[in-house]
Amino acid sequence: MNGGSDAKTAFVLAGGGSLGAIQVGMLRSLLAAGVRPDFIVGSSVGAMNACYFAGEPNADGVERLARIWLELRRRDIFPFTLGMAFGLLRHANYLVDPSSLRALIERHLPFVGLQEAKLPVHIIATDMQGFAVTLSEGSAAQAIMASAAVPGIFPTVEVEGAPLMDGAVAANTPLWLAMTLGARRIIVLPTGYACALERPPASAIGRGLHAITLLIAWQLIRDLERLPQEIDVHLAPALCPLDISPYDFSRSGELISRAAAATQEWIADGGLSRRATPADLAPHRHVRHDAGQ
Ligand SMILES: [Zn+2]
């Protein structure tokens, strides 16, 4: 239901590795409050969440998604943490064999083509010139793989002959595309970033993912600055302080329940009647930098 011809509501889910679990908690509280989207836009891990949710866009679907996250382990997505050197030898242009990620996606997706989802879903990927490519039909698994193809870590994914990579590096963001797709009310479900990490993630992939979560947050701030005033935009609360690396898949339960509680509180406090501002995601410090190091 649209609730009015030009009052379309979109949920926007951007990337963030393991922090994608946060979006599950946000979805749980938004649905509990009776908030439902007319369509959903996803990028990177948000593309995976968006597709799962679009297959069953109700509270049961959210709980099903929560169970997937609770069972998810790092090796389900990044199987070669110890064999990276072999990976480097075998694959010249990427580090991680994507077959585990593809198997994970296909195991849980309740539909094949994006156009078959119960809720219209649009996935963002990036072409080699940096343009955003919006995928709204065709293989959902292929679209998610393309959208989550972090450069250097996963291989590019060909869609209709064009090699595509992670949606996070596109010139246009999922928030902007939600507007161009006709949304007049946009609710962003940010994964945020680990603002309270004591030290950089230990691994190369962890550091790369952390950097991407920062990029996504800064893009979001710029989007909120330039989005036309007539667009009603709301930002579910990012978790702060957060000390969980986007490469740590062992704390999904904690992320889901913290995000659900924070979102419930935000809704009760009038979050859905307040327009989001860039200050909602402002850079800040928790970590004390010791002198002399
Ligand atoms: Zn913080």
Cα of 282 from ligand 1 centre, angstroms: 9
Cα of 280 from ligand 1 centre, angstroms: 11
pLDDT > 90 in the chain, percent: 77
* pLDDT above 50: residue 280: yes
pLDDT at 2: 40
Cα of 247 from ligand 1 centre, angstroms: 18
Cα of 199 from ligand 1 centre, angstroms: 14
* pLDDT above 80: residue 185: yes
* pLDDT above 50: residue 292: no
pLDDT at 42: 97
Cα of 113 from ligand 1 centre, angstroms: 38
pLDDT at 56: 97
- For 137, other C-beta atoms within 10 Å of its C-beta total 11
Taking all residues of the chain, what is their mean pLDDT, rounded to a whole number?
91
Cα of 150 from ligand 1 centre, angstroms: 25
Cα of 42 from ligand 1 centre, angstroms: 24
Q: What is the DSSP string of 33-72?
A: TT---SEEEEETHHHHHHHHHHHS-SHHHHHHHHHHHHH-
Cα of 239 from ligand 1 centre, angstroms: 7
Upstream peptide bond of 246 is cis (omega within 30 degrees of 0)? no
pLDDT at 7: 78
Cα of 195 from ligand 1 centre, angstroms: 4
- What pLDDT, in 10s, does the model give residues 214-258? 999 999 999 999 999 999 999 999 999 999 999 999 999 999 999
* pLDDT above 70: residue 77: yes
Cα of 152 from ligand 1 centre, angstroms: 28
Task: Decide if 22 contacts 28 (C-beta within 8 A).
Answer: no
